[in-house]
Amino acid sequence: MKIALVLGTRPEIIKMASLIRECEIQKLDFFIIHSNQHYSENLDKIFFEELNLTTPKYNLQVGSSNHGNQTGKILIGMEEVFLKEKPTHVLTQGDTNTVLACALAASKLDIKVGHVEAGLRSYNRKMPEETNRIVTDHVSDFLFCPTNTQKIILEKEGLDQDKIHIVGNTVVDAVLQNIKIAQKQSKILEILNIQPKEFILATAHRSLNVDNKESLQNLINCLNNAANQLNLPLVYPIHPRTKKMLKNFNINPNINTKKIKLIEPLGYLDFLMLQKHAKIILTDSGGIQEEACVLKTPCITLREETERPETVEVGANIITGININKITKAILAMLNKPPIWENPYGDGTTAKQIIEIIKK
């Protein structure tokens, strides 16, 4: 058995970290391919260093471009590596262009594909991630679902039950393995001069929210309103694409308040500390919905739907879209109840379960 672990974005580095560690612990024959589909290699490099991970054997240096161009470059690069290395299994996680291209390349070469976080559905085809998820699931040999919800979805889509495995989510592995390290090493609260539970944390990068001037202005208005509502600073580690769009559209983030703190993207440990100590999180990220749930921090999702319905069902998350009135009500609802929900994503042994299933 020879395993290729494939990733391409910072969230994928985090969620694949426990699988990399498990392969090391079990002394398996494996290697890492990084498509580098994110904007900056340096931003990814800090994640490998902080998490003390094996350096990728291959970096495809794809970078950012439109979906067809980016997916095509990754597909070509993956095929070349697979032909050279001849892995028996490929593991990839999530819903990016890297995941889609990796799954297609491996499937056409008759390499077994394991999709981590299989079965997630937003049922919004305007999101490119939705197409990536569906196609990847339907060409995969191992479908590793976070919960029974995804198992039911995949069965309804006609996929073979023998391929489907409920294993939890590697996000729990990552949070549990790294939160104590973050608490010892991170100084981000001191650097930003903020106190625990006395700030709002926000992230937004989805194309539906930031690539259109009206949508981006609505987003900024909502963030300003939330900061004013709670009379707290709002920390916003800004995605490079969002930063570019603010400049292109000439939008001032602090037009109604001086409470928004725009900062550069952070390493995982610093961001983990911000999530743990935020009073509330506003985000359009799927992974952050999960992490907030695990960390017992109330979350509001700035989208009209989510492929993480478990976070809503347990009471850890409210879906509002970019709507000031809905966000205002959601903030009050979330802060008027204790964060005593149960984490639905497993006990932190997901990576071990995945490797054992493949070995069998």
Assigned token pair, 296: 């017992």
CB neighbour class for 231 (10 Å; exposed up to 12, middle 13-18, buried from 19): exposed
Q: Between the CA of residue 232 and those of 194, 282, 293, 299, 342, what are the distances in Å?
A: 10, 13, 22, 16, 28
**How many angstroms separate the CA atoms of 302 and 158, rounded?**
31
DSSP annotation of 54 reads P
Cβ neighbours of 143 (radius 10 Å)? 27
In angstroms, the CA 123 to CA 108 distance is: 27
Alpha carbons 97 and 77: distance in angstroms, whole number? 13
Q: Which amino acid is at 240?
A: P
Tokens of 68: 């067809």
Give me the catalytic one of 115, 205, 239, 277: 205
Tokens for 58, please give them: 């291959």
Q: Which residues contact 171 (CB under 8 A, 6 or more apart)?
A: 14, 15, 287, 290, 291, 294, 345
Residue 205 among the catalytic residues: yes
334-to-63, 105, 326 alpha-carbon distances in Å: 38, 44, 12
107 to each of 28, 58, 88, 104, 281, how far by Cα in Å? 22, 19, 11, 5, 38
Tokens of 104: 């297609």
Catalytic residues: 205
